[in-house]
Chain A
Amino acid sequence: MRELTYLEAVREALWQEMERDERVFIIGEDVGVYGGAFGVTRGMVDHFGPQRVIDTPISEYGIAGAITGAALTGMRPVGEIMFMDFTTLAMEQLVNQAAKMRFMFGGTIEVPFVLRCPAGSGTGAAAQHSQSLEAWFVHVPGLKVAMPSTPYDVKGLLLAAIRDPNPVIFVEHKLLYKSKGPAPEEPYTVPLGKAEVKRAGRDLTIVATSIMVVRALEAAAQLAGEGIEVEVVDPRTLKPLDTETIVASVSKTGRAMIVHEACKTGGYGAELAAVIAESEAFDYLDAPIVRLAGRDMPIPYNRTLEYHTVPQIEDIVGKAREIVQGRI
């Protein structure tokens, strides 16, 4: 299969869906000629024109309002918030308005939009440009949250998200943009709410999100050399969550470790741990469910400090070894 980068996969999904459906448009800061802060929409304004690739003032709340309102008129907007950190400026519109409208109005309307949010640390951008805030959105009924880890998934999930009749928060990790992987050229969808076992194994289940899937797979490869077979499960969508795949995996391996970049306390890992603990997988557990997550602190600037703020491959390897060897 053809290979392309995660960034190219996002762009291809946007491109193909805008070709297919004239209701789809892109709106955000510097998404036009500039091509987006990370270059995701580069070249798109030349092809689709400034009426469908819309540059905005620095008004994140306004962007959220623009996609909410346009969605109410039957459009299919794809908004971009340059850094997920800046969703803080748009929260009222997303949480109080877009997410609740359908329910508040007795199911009489749909709010079909996607809000793309580049997230995560590792770029040296420090505390206000590096956060992973997905747990906030997972906590809001009415929103869906997708967090793909591969070029294949990001393309298929983005197409599914644009076609979904609900507001979808779409989290893209900045460090993944350059990662390469196979993805078909023709349009396809990856259903929202379907996890994938990225690597099969018998000794330990690692449920990881976003870039931590990539790190968990690298850790699994290293651990295989020691005879430890790790199963890596990527939920791909945090809401709705495919509990079935996760519970089945943990029931098989008897051990569960959760890895995400966001701060540990109140993070999505707590939800995953609870889902496992409340399920029939509990009866199969041979060890405590372990969370390996970002430290409870802002992301520091210094390269070394930043590196050690979120889980790295060696952290995953070390923690997995402890669990499997019964040292936890």
Chain B
Amino acid sequence: MTLDTVTQRDLLRQMYTIRAFEEMAEELYARGKIHGTMHLSIGMEASAVGAIAALRPDDYILSTHRGHGHCIAKGADLKRMMAEFMGKESGYCRGRGGSMHIADVESGNLGANGVVGGGLATAMGVGLGLKMQDSDRICLCFFGDGAANLGPFHESLNMAAIWRLPVVYVCENNQYAMSFSVERAFAIDHISERAAAYGMPGETVDGNDLLAVYEAVREAVERARRGDGPSLVENVTYRWRGHSKSDANRYRTQEEIDAWKQRCPIAHFRQHLIAGGELTEAEADEIEARARADIDVAVTFAEASPEPDLSAIEQGVYA
């Protein structure tokens, strides 16, 4: 299925927005305006945007600790998102969650996760709930290569498969679980091979090719929506930045990082659209500039937002 020009331009805008958001977040962190840590997905934008483009607005996602892109692609308000990063009351989680726990329930984003693989079984449960309600909504679960080696991966995929739940598992293989490379962590070539063990389709795609991601996930989403059960899609990609703010990049070479930067998913898609006559250079520049301007608005909003009220510190523990 081909995407129309308006949609493709919007997907490019989303990728630029994610890039701009994360670069700004990194800068604000360096300036001490954001505390804690964060996990940047710079270089992985096509995986988030391509996968979520295959969803309906009312579908659910479960995200990861590297989930800023997922959140933006699912339709988050950048102002409330940036406010959450700054720990403000106007943030999505009223400043209680921060980067690692950001959730936008109204948009169907059931949350980033501080625990690697923490969303895998929850996503299966969401699928179970949807199936029990005869809903035609589906649940897309993002996780990384590291999570694929956890026990919960096995329990979640197996249960989703035996009950044919409407879940799409999207593994963002960015080559490293912190410092542990996929070469060291897997005795198989592709993580998607594991799908066969659960009796579900598995496919590995170039995670830096937005349209390839979109096509593979779209097929999996359709299958889930038809009631034919879960699928596993592996997006092979790469994170340009370190695992988190503590990463000194001792486990990989600059040459390797530079080589992957040559395969920038945004530049790739931009060139594709220009080559196909969908976009001019000037229009592409304008889309990028607009994305950056949106982030500036978000920062202004977040900085002007109030801190949480200390008297409400324990609110939200129980319903």
Q: Which residues of A contact B (CB under 8 A)?
A: 25, 51-52, 56-57, 59, 61-62, 64-75, 77, 92-93, 96-97, 101-110, 112, 141-142, 144, 165-166
Chain A residues whose CB sits within 8 angstroms of the CB of B317 once the complex forms:
102-103, 141-142
| Contact flag A105-B118 (CB < 8 Å), given A69-B126, A110-B319, A142-B317 | no
Give Cα distance in the complex from A108 to B123, angstroms. Answer: 18
Q: How far is the CB of B9 from chain A (nearest CB, A)?
A: 31
Number of residue pairs A-B, CB distance < 8 angstroms: 141
Known A69-B128, A70-B126; contact A64-B316, beta-carbon cutoff 8 A: no
State whether B129 touches A65 (Cβ < 8 A): no
* Residues of B that sit less than 8 Å from A by CB: 60, 91-97, 101, 103, 105, 110-111, 113-115, 118-130, 132-133, 135, 139, 151-152, 155-156, 158-159, 162, 315-319
Q: Which residues of A contact B113 (CB under 8 A)?
A: 97
Roughly how many angstroms separate A107 CA and B317 CA in the complex, as a whole number? 7
Does A103 lie within 8 Å of B126, measured CB to CB?
no
**A104 touching B133, Cβ below 8 Å:** no
Residues of A within 8 A of B111 (CB): 101, 104-105
Given contacts A105-B93, A106-B93, contact A67 B125 (CB under 8 A): yes
Q: Given known contacts A57-B162, A62-B156, A70-B126, is B316 in contact with A97 (CB within 8 Å)?
A: no
The residue among A61, A72, A93, A106 with the most chain B CB atoms within 10 A of its own CB is A106
Distance between B114 CB and nearest chain A CB, rounded to angstroms:
7
A sample of 7 cross-chain residue pairs with beta-carbon separation below 8 angstroms, ordered by A number, consists of A52-B132, A61-B151, A69-B128, A69-B139, A96-B118, A101-B111, A106-B92
Give Cα A102–Cα B156 distance, bound, in whole angstroms: 22
Q: What are the residues of chain B within 8 A of A71 when measuring CB–CB?
A: 125, 129
Chain A residues with CB below 8 A from B118, complex form:
92-93, 96-97
Give the residue name and chain of the B residue nearest to A70 (CB). B129
**Contact indicator A62/B121 (Cβ below 8 Å):** yes
The smallest C-beta distance from B160 to any residue of chain A, in angstroms, reads 9
User: Which of B103, B121, B135 is close to A61, meaning CB atoms less than 8 Å apart?
Assistant: B121
Q: A57-B162, A62-B159 are in contact. Are A102 and B316 (CB under 8 A)?
A: yes
Checking B94, B139, B159 against A66 with a beta-carbon cut-off of 8 angstroms, the contacting residue is B159
